[in-house]
Amino acid sequence: MQEDPAESLRRRYRLALSLAAVLVVLNQTLVQPSLLRVTTDAPVINIAGRQRMLSQRLAKAALALNTDDGATRGQRLAELDEVLKLWVVSHEGLRRGNPALSLPGRNSSAVEEAFDGLEPYFKRMCDAADRLIRSSPGVRPDDPEVRAILRAEADYLERMDRIVGLYEREARDRVTWLFWTGWVLTCLILLALLTIGQLVLRPAVEIIRRQIVALQLGRDELEDRVRQRTVELELAADRQQALVEQFSHAARTTTIGEMASGLAHELKQPLGAIANYAEGCLIELGAPHPAIDEVQTSLEKLLSATLRTGQIIERIRKFVTRHEPRREAFDPNQVVHEVEEILRDEANQRRVTVAMNLAPDLPYLYGDPVQVQQVLVNLVRNAFDALGEAKPLQPTVVILTRKARSGGVEFAITDNGEGIDQERLGRVFDAYFSTRAGGLGMGLAISRTIIEAHQGRITVSSQPGVTTTFRFTLPDGNDDDAASQGLHRG
């Protein structure tokens, strides 16, 4: 079975860390102690060389007593005592180590052997000097103590020179050893770095490179899937758009069917006026002396009634005709006025007062005015139905427009009908859910789809038995997002 590259890389990484740890331990055990010893070599050599000088000062101090006239003997003895103490302390420091003098505590076997050979002469000079210091004032300086110091000094200097030479040779050997050890460790470090590069960094870089390539391939594949999914979503949106338009057209046709009697009555009035004006004109023109001014006035009224009839028919045709979704700028208050005209006769038949509270100077909206008009017709007719169920003393529907806080225009339709209880309030926009026994439950669902396609939002609030208000907000025509998204794509 093929080994996991990540596990192999982790094992090599641990090996590289172990190698680095070994090099660190070698540095601490081999180099650092030698470096510390090298830093003490110079003080040791200096102190060893000073021992020769101190031995000579000791001999000179003893000889100085030969010329002593007795008056300065005490001063000479004090000098001899001071030199002796300093000489003894330095000797002990060289042999056993003295932290105060920065001296190491161990000497090589050769140095220790040389010190063993030096020790008898050092002892003789110390004992003789000590006896001189403790001698009585009457003793002369040519006593055996002075001669003993002078005889032992020559042998001491010879052996001390040998010890200084040993110190110097060992210092040079340590420097040479450190030089080559440093090179060996440097080569080992370079070899370790090369090994880490070959065993760890290079495979890691290769793994990262393969992962980057895999990520790039995955990104390209994901982008292809996103593009494909986007195309599918656009096709689905187009299909949904067509379905919504079909539902909208069916809903508008059904609405006009339900309003047919009212529309027939509304058309009957201007058509009857047209017939009366035409008949009056014919009668007047058949007289011997027709009143041309009256005929002209009647013809003007006939023209006005004809135009009104055409407007009613055109408005109904626009409302019912199935058309391709379009976007255009429209006046929100104009849409409300047209809805009021469409529903005016039905409101009169139901004895409902329709009040309009329209804010002036509203921004133009961008979208399909027929579909927005359909939403308003559906909401107002739902309010008529609610008023028919509740039968309040003064059934009223208020249509309001105003500038929305977030921009755009807010529409509100309020009635004082039966209201909607809280259990059903959250479901009124669901498809196939209706608060009326014979309702299909599609009107409010289609209305919400239309409003959301216009980048708007529709809500409802109700106080059962008191009032119900449907509100929806549409962005104004300056909103680029609203103009470039939604149900209506050009």
**C-alpha distances in Å from residue 93, one per residue of 44, 100, 125, 465:** 9, 9, 18, 111
Query: Distance (Å, rounded) from C-alpha 173 to C-alpha 87?
Result: 28
Hey, where are the domains in the chain? Answer: 5-215, 259-321, 327-490
Q: Which CATH number fits domain 5-215: 3.90.700, 1.20.1710, 2.130.10, 1.10.3470?
A: 1.20.1710
- Terminal C-alpha separation, the chain: 60
Residues 6+ apart with CB under 8 A from 243: none
Residues 6+ apart with CB under 8 A from 152: 121, 124, 125, 128
* pTM, two decimal places: 0.42
Written as tens digits, the pLDDT of the chain (490 aa) is: 556 777 777 777 778 778 778 878 877 777 777 676 667 777 788 888 888 888 888 888 877 776 665 667 778 788 888 888 888 888 888 887 655 444 555 778 888 888 899 899 899 889 888 888 887 555 554 567 888 888 888 888 998 899 889 888 888 888 888 888 888 888 888 888 888 778 778 877 888 888 888 888 988 999 999 999 888 888 887 776 666 666 666 666 666 665 565 556 556 656 766 777 787 788 878 888 788 887 788 788 778 768 767 766 765 666 656 555 678 899 999 999 989 988 888 898 889 999 999 999 999 999 888 889 889 998 999 999 889 888 888 999 999 999 998 889 999 999 998 888 888 887 888 766 666 555 556 678 888 888 988 899 999 999 888 899 999 999 987 654 444 444 443 3
Residues 6+ apart with CB under 8 A from 461: 468, 469, 471
Q: What angle do CA 470, 473, 478 make, to 5 degrees?
A: 165
Residues 6+ apart with CB under 8 A from 55: 87, 125, 153, 156, 157, 160
CA nearest neighbour of 454 among 345, 343, 327, 299:
327
If one counts every other C-beta atom within 10 angstroms of the C-beta of residue 374, the result is 22
Q: Which two tokens stand for residue 36?
A: 């510390």
Class of domain 327-490: alpha beta
Query: Distance (Å, rounded) from C-alpha 32 to C-alpha 70?
Result: 56
Strands (E), 161-289: none
The residue type at 149: I
Alpha carbon 204 to its chain centroid, in Å, reads: 27
